[in-house]
Amino acid sequence: MTTDQPQSDGAPSETYSEFETRVKRIANVSNAAGILQWDQEVVMPDEGTPARAQQLSTLSSISHELLTADETGALLEELESATLSDEQAAVVREVRRRYDRETSVPQELVEEISETTANAHPKWKQAKENDDFEAFAPTLEKLVELKREYATHIDPDADPYEVLFSDYEPYIDLETAEGVLERLRDELVPLIDAIGDSDAALETDAFAGTFEDDDQEALARDVLDSLGYNWNRGRLDTAPHPFSSGTQFDARVTTRFEEDDLLGSITSTIHEFGHANYTLGLPDEGYGTPLGEARDLSVHESQSRLWENHIGRSRPFWEQFLPVARERFPSLEGVTPEAAYEAANQVHDDNLIRVEADELTYHLHIVIRFEIERDLISGDLAVEDVPEVWNDKYEEYLGVRPETDAEGCLQDIHWSHGSFGYFPTYSLGSVLAAQLYAAAEADLGDLDSDIREGNLDDLNGWLREQIHQHGKQYTTQALIERATGEELTADHFLEYVETKYGELYDLEA
Amino acid sequence: MTTDQPQSDGAPSETYSEFETRVKRIANVSNAAGILQWDQEVVMPDEGTPARAQQLSTLSSISHELLTADETGALLEELESATLSDEQAAVVREVRRRYDRETSVPQELVEEISETTANAHPKWKQAKENDDFEAFAPTLEKLVELKREYATHIDPDADPYEVLFSDYEPYIDLETAEGVLERLRDELVPLIDAIGDSDAALETDAFAGTFEDDDQEALARDVLDSLGYNWNRGRLDTAPHPFSSGTQFDARVTTRFEEDDLLGSITSTIHEFGHANYTLGLPDEGYGTPLGEARDLSVHESQSRLWENHIGRSRPFWEQFLPVARERFPSLEGVTPEAAYEAANQVHDDNLIRVEADELTYHLHIVIRFEIERDLISGDLAVEDVPEVWNDKYEEYLGVRPETDAEGCLQDIHWSHGSFGYFPTYSLGSVLAAQLYAAAEADLGDLDSDIREGNLDDLNGWLREQIHQHGKQYTTQALIERATGEELTADHFLEYVETKYGELYDLEA
């Protein structure tokens, strides 16, 4: 039973406070580890790894021990039969979920997975470099088995893939996710075909040329300024694989610069801004409990993609931002906002690489991975058959066939981490981004003129109010329904891309 | 009983391994905290403090709990009656010492000290800004009482100041330290007087002018290059109060740049190099136990001061380094190595500020603080009398009287941290630096030509072999005797300064 107000009856309140102290302790250890990881990616000297690995492993086992201690279990039980406020009940729900999962998997299995993935990473890297899938296959086989076993410990009666998926997305059921992915596949394949057949000639060379790193960095700071990034609680650095991390007090962005890819650095910076901006919108007073933590991967990805795609790849954004970019790069003088917009939205239907994909083909890359990993975990697909199935699916959905496994099934790092079930959250993020953006425009009116004026306060205020400030108080589906009045749906995404790309590529309605 | 070789009899070896795992765990938590502190000083956004404070406090209490747990005590007892190798026995000795100290102080007192110092810092800062000692006096009074109480818990029979001193310098007894400080006072006061009376006109304007930060940073990197800093395990950044920190895998240097103080940035960078270079010389295989940790503050400071003073303020260093500096700063074209040497060694007998002091007057600043804090802790001096006693001592030892407490007894941060007993380690470091340098030259021959050629490998090899590689295996006095054949003595320091400054200031022998 829950009520709107915290109860003041002594015992449970004291219990809750003991519980909260424990939860905050775990969060502080994890957040400390987050800083160590940021440090490792961004500033740590090359040879710091051996010590860093031990530090991270120690923090990870301390936080595991604190979470799975008998005291945590006893406190949870006591609180579950107490009268709690909605907020307290949400904290208990979230910690219970993690407690149940972490206590159900034997420590030896956790360690075996951890060791296997640690060794898998260099093997995958080597196999990719040598285009040698067979060298990686036994490791992949082992990881599939271990993660299947892991899932069985968590819920012996459930579909193991569903259990794995729920590690990344606990509150969207797999059936919903699968429905979304199937719709994306069924509707995007013909749309991309139509684009391939279109005679429309997009201007694609707006950002051709070379661009100095230092100037790109200055421009990345301009981008973050214009989006309203809070520098008092953030910073920008470079990392080989851009990411953002941190807490509501300190959410940092990384990006990377390649001299021939200015557009890539801008969109990547905006993407990471979206993540960091979500983190910065979490309530200060929730720091250390799930109330101050982001909802899971799909919601996080909805924020990065809303900013990257709905803002950063929009026409009014380029109307506003191109003059700023021209100040850093006078060579952009002759580029029109329309040309920049077209360059930012070109569909590459012959691209084989997920991370280089456009807004449309991206989801077919995801669908392919999802279908393969689901069948790997169920046992319907043997590891040895992955390359052929991969290539067949690329041919079927995208009309291109990888000539090597390096640019085929070995391209992504995820499986070498044992991360099966992660990929779908990327597409769910895009779908949710469109749904949220539509809801924001329904509430606030058309946002184009705000974007054109570089005034994103209203949109950001809406996101703060509807999403960010709630942390993990609501489950994902409840959060989505509160914010948009609907369950998660691909409708808005499909409408968005059909309108946008229909116009860009001059397709018949 | 100890032997040279680890014993293979089952039980103690298993016990030792359990003990070592525990010790490493504590070290990893502390080293993680070290990274968080570096991050806070160097890269953390301004508003990150509330979360960082909680993270650090959590890590600190976890490492305290791990150390003071009953299991640690039981393992120590068991190992103390087992047959151990010398290395194992040293680890047990060091952990026992920390265990005894941390278990003897009640947790409430630790927390009260921690809270009081947290609040003391802003009060001290404000009092210094307003030159208002009375505003800080009650806090200082409280800190003196708390630290006296703290010392009594650790050893009710000992002189409380001695107990506090041994927090910073566990293996040099206070009597020895006091003897060194008295000798410094007795011999430096007349030497500085003689310098004040000298007619020698040193060239002091070699580094007059303004120097851009970026170029100063490039030069700081040149300095570190020429000293042989291992960039694969280190980095250089700026911080308001330069420090170095880390482990043998990752020991970082910070410095600061002021456009009118090029010399200050060079000497400060060399000083911090000395600290980091010690850390980098600790054995990799000792990481996580006292065998891979630096001996305490005096030895650490001996390393920073050996490099700063015996190398960085030497004539051959400037012969080697001035041409490098001229490449960054063509304005130094007309400066001779001799002029640089003289500028780097000018004695400022009218300076009131410790951190701006030269190699000679520095120690009188320390002696004054030592005499005052010792009497504060013993109760022989009342807090309210500190300003007058401070000023009287400055007049007596240095012939200058501060006109304000801001440039008098409020200048240093240490007492606001409750750090009574810390100051002497600075002077002990200088004294030990001279003793080690003399021993190195006795073993290796005169080092001037090495320095002139920028080849410091032999000296560094000697320091690695004699000091760095031993971690905490030997107690401080044993380490000093092994390396120099003598107990800690001020002889070498006094001989060094008498020769150096006698020549510089043309004093009669």
Does residue A459 form part of some domain?
no
Mean pLDDT, chain B, as a whole number? Answer: 95
Q: What percent of chain B has pLDDT over 90?
A: 95
The verdict on a CB contact (< 8 Å) between A233 and B49 is no
What are the pLDDT digits (tens) for B223-270?
999 999 999 999 999 998 999 999 999 999 999 999 999 999 999 999
State the greatest distance between any 2 C-alpha atoms of chain B, in Å, as a whole number.
73
Does residue A83 form part of some domain?
yes
Nearest in space to B378 (alpha carbons), one of B183, B109, B165, B179: B165
Question: What range defines the domain where residue B19 resides?
Answer: 1-104
Does residue B337 form part of some domain?
no
B272 is catalytic: yes
- Average pLDDT value for residue range A91-97: 98
Total domains, chain B: 1
- pLDDT level of residue B1 (50, 70, 90 thresholds): very low
Closest residue on chain A to B235 (Cα):
A45
Query: By three-state DSSP, how is residue B83 classified?
Result: coil
pLDDT reported for residue A3: 42
Q: Over 70: is that where the pLDDT of B3 sits?
A: no
Does residue A29 form part of some domain?
yes
Does residue A288 form part of some domain?
no
Q: In A, which residues are within 8 Å of B283 by CB distance?
A: none
What are the pLDDT digits (tens) for A340-350?
999 999 999 89
Does residue B344 form part of some domain?
no
Q: Which of A46, A249, A253, A279 to mutate to test the interface with B (most CBs of B within 10 A)?
A: A249
Q: Tally helices (H) and strands (E) across chain B.
A: 20, 5
Closest residue on chain A to B26 (Cα):
A58
What are the pLDDT digits (tens) for B196-232?
999 998 998 999 999 999 999 999 999 999 999 999 9
What are the pLDDT digits (tens) for A234-280?
999 999 899 999 999 999 999 999 999 999 999 999 999 999 999 99
Q: Over 70: is that where the pLDDT of B8 sits?
A: no
Say if CB A312 and CB A266 are below 8 A apart: yes
Residue A48 has its nearest CB partner, among B54, B58, B249, at B249
The verdict on a CB contact (< 8 Å) between B247 and A288 is no
- Average pLDDT value for residue range A365-370: 98
- pLDDT level of residue A118 (50, 70, 90 thresholds): confident
Calculate how close chain B gets to A247, using CA atoms only, in Å: 8
Q: In A, which residues are within 8 Å of B239 by CB distance?
A: none
Residue A234 has its nearest CB partner, among B45, B231, B247, at B45
Closest residue on chain A to B288 (Cα):
A51
The verdict on a CB contact (< 8 Å) between B31 and A55 is yes
Does residue B60 form part of some domain?
yes
pLDDT reported for residue A509: 66
- What six digits make up the tokens of A185? 């596949």
Cβ of A473 under 8 Å from any chain B Cβ?
Answer: no
Q: Over 50: is that where the pLDDT of B168 sits?
A: yes
Which one is catalytic: B162, B272, B308, B373? B272
Distance set, CA B229 to CA A51, A84, A205, B24, B42 (Å):
19, 58, 46, 27, 20
The verdict on a CB contact (< 8 Å) between B49 and A249 is yes
Cβ of B31 under 8 Å from any chain A Cβ?
Answer: yes
The verdict on a CB contact (< 8 Å) between A47 and B249 is yes
- Average pLDDT value for residue range B418-430: 98
- pLDDT level of residue A8 (50, 70, 90 thresholds): very low
Q: In A, which residues are within 8 Å of B284 by CB distance?
A: 50
Residue B145: which residues within 8 A CB-CB, separation 6 or more? Answer: none
The verdict on a CB contact (< 8 Å) between B32 and A31 is no
What are the pLDDT digits (tens) for A202-212?
998 999 999 99
Say if CB A492 and CB A432 are below 8 A apart: no
Q: What is the DSSP string of B434-485?
A: HHHHHHHHHHH---HHHHHTT--HHHHHHHHHHTGGGTTSS-HHHHHHHHHS
Does residue B68 form part of some domain?
yes
pLDDT reported for residue A349: 85
What are the pLDDT digits (tens) for A29-87?
999 999 999 999 999 999 999 999 999 999 999 999 999 999 999 999 999 999 999 99
Q: In B, which residues are within 8 Å of A25 by CB distance?
A: 58, 62
The verdict on a CB contact (< 8 Å) between A250 and B52 is yes
Q: What percent of chain A has pLDDT over 90?
A: 95
Cβ of B234 under 8 Å from any chain A Cβ?
Answer: yes
Q: Which of B25, B56, B58 to mutate to test the interface with A (most CBs of A within 10 A)?
A: B58
Residue A158: which residues within 8 A CB-CB, separation 6 or more? Answer: A151
The verdict on a CB contact (< 8 Å) between A54 and B28 is yes
What are the pLDDT digits (tens) for B434-459?
999 999 999 999 999 999 999 999 99
pLDDT reported for residue B118: 87
Q: Which of B23, B31, B35, B247 to mutate to test the interface with A (most CBs of A within 10 A)?
A: B35
Q: Is A153 annotated as a binding residue?
A: no
- pLDDT level of residue A1 (50, 70, 90 thresholds): very low
Q: What is the ipTM of this complex?
A: 0.94
